[in-house]
Amino acid sequence: MSTDLMPNRYRPGEFDLPAREAKLIARRDAVLGASYRLQYRRPVHFVRGEGMWLYDPDGRAYLDFYNNVPSLGHCHPEVNAAMADQAARISANTRYLEPRLVDYAERLVDTFPEELSRVVFTCTGSESNDLALRIARLASGGEGVIVSSYAYHGTSAAAAAVSPNLGDAVKLSPFVRMVSLPGPAGIPESQAADFFEAQVRSAIRDLNRRGIDVAALLIDSIFSSDGVWVDPPGFIAGGVAAVQDAGGLVIADEVQPGFGRTGTHMWGFERHGIVPDLVTLGKPMGNGFPIGAVVGRKAPMERFGAIARYSNTFAGNTVGIATADAVLTIIQRDRILENALAMGRRLRAGLEEMAKQHPAIRATRNAGLFIGVDIGSAETPSSDRRAMALDVVNAMRDDGVLISTTGANEDALKVRPPLVCQAEHVDLFLATMGRALTTIGGEASSQEHV
């Protein structure tokens, strides 16, 4: 596990910065909490966004291939109009009758398998996972939670306690068990399903030996923080069944793969052919407006509602609902999933072709428009692979394209553009990445001969 929680970050004094940015950083440091970090070695300063692009104060455009929050692109005019129109009318909460709240809830639930028929709104993905854990523990009577070995599920106390990605300083709950994924463990795809099920069953046994019943298997079906380990489709099914057989609930964290990012399905768990008990939603739901949700089966949702309480002043507010409704309308009307699938294939094909010219690309994985690109050969020391990946990210930033890294060693490039990206954006990304790899390769060769 990386000891630097944000390796791709600005470090004071590493580079000379323009006076404007240097002064702004100094003002930030004087007033903001120390937990804030600036991304990239040379921080970016944006004043405007439009579609696939972000613009700095001098008007320079940066192609955004990183942010999944504006799933329909930055400042989508139709989404913004829906937001502004509702804000000009009323912003109320769910304790008052509001037809649009019910209309949207019906539309949202209709995108799920019929077993998932109830929805509760939240403000963020962290709140969604926090609430889902409460429901799972109450419905199951258990406390144990099983997660992948480098999972990230949020920043609330409960979500952080099941997020090993946050580092050793953030203590995991003693009721948490981590399972390895077949991909990072080097397991062939033909054995992936058996490996994952065995890992989950072992975790259940370990919990039971200590008198702990399992409450939930909490998974991001695209395993983004683990390094984007998406294949083979269906490899999680045996583990899912094992948890449900043991009386636990399966929670699908769809903050990353949901709302069509995989291209083949609206929800990432569908790609694996499973039906979870609870589904958590967040960031892309409002294209940047803070809104989330928990969608689930009737029985656990009704049991929780009957004997527990969940009241959230801002969750399900009318402005958020209007915004989310516009997002869902555009996704369905403009065939966003088809575009995500087509552009994902174009991007994957381009990366595989690039790998023939650049041996620094070890492997490429994707589901639609979520791509992981491993950097550095298997023989390269892990610290060197990590450094190479970060060098690629920062070279691309300097060339006007934004991505980041992921995985336990941070040696996988994380590529997840807004779902509205087009062929010209994919081609520009590929050209920029090719230049970055050439630059990094040249620098590595020069260092070898020093």
Cβ–Cβ < 8 Å for 250, 278: yes
Give the separation between CA 37 and CA 124, rounded to whole angstroms.
20
Looking at the DSSP bridge assignments, the partners of residue 292 are 122
Q: Which of 331, 447, 337, 443 is nearest to 392 (CA)?
A: 443
Verify cis geometry, omega within 30 degrees of 0, for the bond prior to 99.
no
pLDDT for res 446: 42
User: Residue written as tokens 């399992």?
Assistant: 214
The token pair at 67 is: 């942010």
- Residues of the chain with confidence (pLDDT) below 50: 1-3, 444-450
Q: Kindly list the domain boundaries of the chain, sorted by start residue.
A: 19-74+335-448, 77-333
What's the pTM value of the predicted model, to 2 decimals? 0.93
Cβ–Cβ < 8 Å for 85, 321: no
pLDDT for res 131: 97
Cα→Cα distances 252→36, 67, 284, Å: 28, 21, 15
Give the separation between CA 38 and CA 70, rounded to whole angstroms.
19
CATH number of 77-333: 3.40.640.10
pLDDT for res 448: 44
- Burial label for 88, CB within 10 Å (0-12, 13-18, 19+), is exposed
The rounded radius of gyration (Å) of the Cα atoms in the chain is 22
pLDDT for res 386: 94
Q: Is 19-74+335-448 a domain of CATH 3.30.230.10? A: no
- Residue 414, by phi and psi: left (phi above 0), alpha (psi -120 to 50) or beta? beta
